[in-house]
Amino acid sequence: MKKWMMAGACAALVLLACFKIGLFEQTTTAEQTADHAKVTSESTNDTATSTPETETFIKVGKGDRTLYTDASFTTPLATVNGGELTEYLSKTAEAYQVRTNDGYTGYLSTDDGTEVTKTIQEAPSDLSDAVIVLDPGHGGSDTGALSNDEQTEEKTITLSTAKKVKAELEKAGATVYLTHTADELVPLADICTYSEKKQADVFISLHADSTEYANEATGITTYYYYGEEKSLAQSIANSFSDLPLESRGVETGNYQVLRENLQPSVLVEMGYMNNDEDLSELTSDTYQQQIADSLTRALTDYFK
């Protein structure tokens, strides 16, 4: 099992204003008590020099779908988030038996999911051997959250910061890709596909938060979706401890770029756009560089 596998914890979320304009999909997660494993590496061939092990998931169709206690779908068991990569256990003619991220084992109609197979990656033992995909949140017509005076857009901050993070990670020898380098909108599904195509050892989406009322919240929050990503998220949250803005720790977040991402992934809200003090940090080169230094330090430790 990969080092990033770990049992999940739980948290209900306050919705964020990243999706003020509705492009950034988020739904509140209920308690997540999952012991979900993203990996189902039950290869039948354990001999040396065998073909690469693969892991199979059942990707739930768009929108919420129903999980049943039985393969004839008589008794509903739970609702599963659309796009979730559930653990594949077995298959009948009309049903997949799966384990969800919430820890439910049940049956999903084959019409409600598709099989996704991925080759298991060996986790690198050093950041210099790692591939990191950075996703500057929002872009183009999707501005993200706005400052209180509506003069500063989240997308500008995320792109500027991501470029600094890339430069710092590259100094440490990592191979780094940005989902976009110019001010353009990349569809969320394409972001997940890109992360997979690049075989990211870690995927990080960068954002800045907002709340309903001005100046009511402050600080940095690190989100993950699958339980095994909690340790990565925790390492990253810990690395923000000496920044000018408080690290609010880790939370589960039902974001599409995490939920539909086959690679180990986290999303960082680097501060609040509608908090004037947070904004003065978010827009400063010094703070953005501190984020870059912190993430580089966290990933250096993570891969050791």
Q: Kindly state the smallest distance separating residue 36's Cβ from Zn ion, in Å.
A: 25
Q: For Zn ion, which is the closer residue by CB, 18 or 39?
A: 18
Task: Please give the residue ranges that form the binding site for Zn ion (CB under 5 A).
Answer: 18, 137, 144, 207
Q: Kindly state the smallest distance separating residue 208's Cβ from Zn ion, in Å.
A: 6
* Residue of this chain nearest to Zn ion (CB atom): 18
Residue the block writes with tokens 């990211």: 200
DSSP string, the chain: --TT------------GGGTTS-S-B-----------S-----S--STTPPPPEEEEEEEPSS-EEEESSTT--SEEEEE-TT-EEEEEEE-SSEEEEE-TTS-EEEEEGGGEEEEEEEPPPPPSSGGG-EEEEEE--BTTB--SB-TTS--BHHHHHHHHHHHHHHHHHHTT-EEEES-SSS----HHHHHHHHHHTT-SEEEEEEEE--SSTTS--SEEEEESSGGGHHHHHHHHHHTTTSSSPEEEEEE--BHHHHT-SS-EEEEEEEETTSHHHHHHHT-HHHHHHHHHHHHHHHHHHT-
Q: For Zn ion, which is the closer residue by CB, 222 or 231?
A: 222
Q: Kindly state the smallest distance separating residue 31's Cβ from Zn ion, in Å.
A: 24
Q: Kindly state the smallest distance separating residue 84's Cβ from Zn ion, in Å.
A: 21
Q: For Zn ion, which is the closer residue by CB, 206 or 299?
A: 206
Q: Kindly state the smallest distance separating residue 267's Cβ from Zn ion, in Å.
A: 8
Q: For Zn ion, which is the closer residue by CB, 81 or 221?
A: 221
Q: Which residues of 138-156 are buried (b: 16+ CB within 10 A; e: fewer)?
A: bbeebbbbbbeeeebbbbb
76, two tokens: 């509903």
Q: For Zn ion, which is the closer residue by CB, 145 or 237?
A: 145
Q: For Zn ion, which is the closer residue by CB, 6 or 236?
A: 236
Q: Kindly state the smallest distance separating residue 162's Cβ from Zn ion, in Å.
A: 12
Q: For Zn ion, which is the closer residue by CB, 26 or 234?
A: 26
Q: Kindly state the smallest distance separating residue 115's Cβ from Zn ion, in Å.
A: 31
Q: For Zn ion, which is the closer residue by CB, 108 or 270?
A: 270
What is the side-by-side order of every strand in the sheet holding 202-209? 175-178, 131-136, 202-209, 265-272, 220-224, 247-252
Q: Kindly state the smallest distance separating residue 222's Cβ from Zn ion, in Å.
A: 14
